[in-house]
């Protein structure tokens, strides 16, 4: 706390933040969150902190003029879907704040469960949302703050942003501060995995906040490889899946925004998921190949406009950009199709 004690100066009845890197400015009306770069194994270095990687939905909370707005990573308004979170953030309605965090549903063992969170996605009526609030409660875990009462904090080091966040937000029920740890990064990573987390996000304490950028100052460390890909088509199903599909044809954007082939995925689906995906694909059918080059598949393909984003688990990505042993995990409506690029994996030797 000592670093930011005495950092407020009263000017014209307004509390000005006097912290190195803070800059006075109007509160933005939109905000793109900073993203982490995937690494090939966990790190352990001085000057870094380690946060549990939560399996939820990234959300930006914007609080101003007595109003709370929740935005997804791609800028979609989530406010109406999570009234309990909004109600608790309204405790800060006399402030002007931008918070960064993750909306998470917990299972009976208090472990993040995206499967439970999925029951909350896409609900629109007050009655459905109200029932879901009771059956599938959610928590907003806040891990950063980028605007504070007239001051942009983008240039403030992470260590000080976290101190200011801790002084500002008081955890209660549906709004919590994420825990973070310092020390042996390998042991912290292993402990997170043992406790049912996806992995760890390692963050450099002296790092600034870079909106919309996938930064090497934040590193995503996961026990299993997974990433987002575009669904660009599907092959016919046979047997029990003759009415749905056999496999999904996957792709990603290259540096020139061309669609490149990443392989096919035919596992990871149950009957409910198969039906949902078929329904979502139906209006996207197209007559032409959306890829830059011919796809090396002998099966018949029904092409799609590449607008659906799927998260896929895999063993590795080859030098040609193809997936080995892919397994479908879920659709990702919180990620914009244009943001799907080849996985920017970084060797820890480069950190």
Please state, in angstroms and rounded to a whole number, the distance separating the CA atoms of residues 208 and 158. 6
Q: How many CA atoms lie within 13 A of 82 on its CB side?
A: 31
Q: Would residue 100 be called left, alpha or beta, if left means φ above 0 and alpha means ψ between -120 and 50 degrees?
A: beta
- On whether the CB atoms of residues 116 and 103 are closer than 8 A, the answer is no
172-206 core/surface letters (b: 16 or more CB in 10 A; e: else): eebbbbbebbeeebeebbeebbeeebbbbbbbbbe
- On whether the CB atoms of residues 265 and 326 are closer than 8 A, the answer is yes
Q: Annotated catalytic, 53?
A: yes
CA distances for 31 relative to 63, 73, 210, 211, 301, angstroms: 12, 9, 11, 7, 38
Please state, in angstroms and rounded to a whole number, the distance separating the CA atoms of residues 9 and 86. 30
**29 token code pair:** 């009306």
| Residue of 10, 20, 26, 53 marked catalytic | 53
Q: Which residues are catalytic?
A: 53
């Amino acid at each position: 706390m000592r670093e930011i004690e005495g950092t407020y100066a009263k000017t014209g009845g307004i509390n000005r933040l006097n912290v190195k890197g803070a800059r006075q400015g109007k509160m933005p009306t939109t905000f793109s969150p900073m993203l982490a770069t995937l690494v090939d194994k966990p790190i352990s270095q001085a000057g870094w902190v380690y946060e549990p990687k939560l399996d939820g939905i990234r959300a930006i909370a914007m609080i101003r003029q007595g109003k709370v707005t929740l935005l997804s990573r791609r800028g979609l308004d989530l406010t109406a879907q999570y009234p309990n979170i909004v109600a608790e953030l309204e405790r800060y309605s006399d402030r002007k704040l931008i918070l960064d965090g993750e909306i998470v549903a917990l299972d009976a063992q208090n472990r993040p469960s995206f499967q439970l969170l999925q029951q909350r996605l896409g609900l629109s009526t007050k009655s459905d949302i109200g029932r879901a609030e009771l059956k599938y409660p959610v928590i907003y875990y806040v891990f950063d703050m980028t605007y504070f009462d007239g001051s942009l904090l983008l240039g403030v080091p992470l260590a000080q942003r976290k101190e200011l966040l801790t002084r500002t937000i008081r955890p209660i029920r549906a709004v919590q501060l994420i825990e973070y740890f310092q020390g042996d990064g390998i042991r912290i990573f292993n402990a997170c995995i043992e406790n049912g987390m996806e992995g760890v996000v390692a963050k450099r304490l002296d790092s600034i906040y870079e909106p919309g950028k996938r930064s090497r100052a934040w590193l995503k460390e996961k026990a299993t490889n997974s990433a987002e890909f575009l669904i660009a088509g599907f092959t016919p199903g046979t047997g029990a899946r003759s009415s749905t599909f056999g496999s999904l044809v996957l792709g990603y954007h290259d540096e020139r925004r061309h669609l490149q082939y990443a392989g096919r995925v035919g596992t990871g689906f149950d009957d409910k998921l198969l039906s949902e995906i078929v329904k979502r694909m139906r209006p996207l059918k197209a007559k032409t190949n959306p890829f830059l080059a011919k796809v090396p598949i002998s099966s018949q393909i029904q092409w799609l406009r590449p607008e659906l984003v799927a998260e896929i688990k895999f063993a590795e990505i080859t030098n040609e950009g193809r997936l080995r042993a892919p397994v479908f995990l879920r659709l990702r409506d919180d990620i914009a199709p244009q943001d799907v690029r080849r996985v920017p994996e970084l060797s820890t030797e480069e950190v």
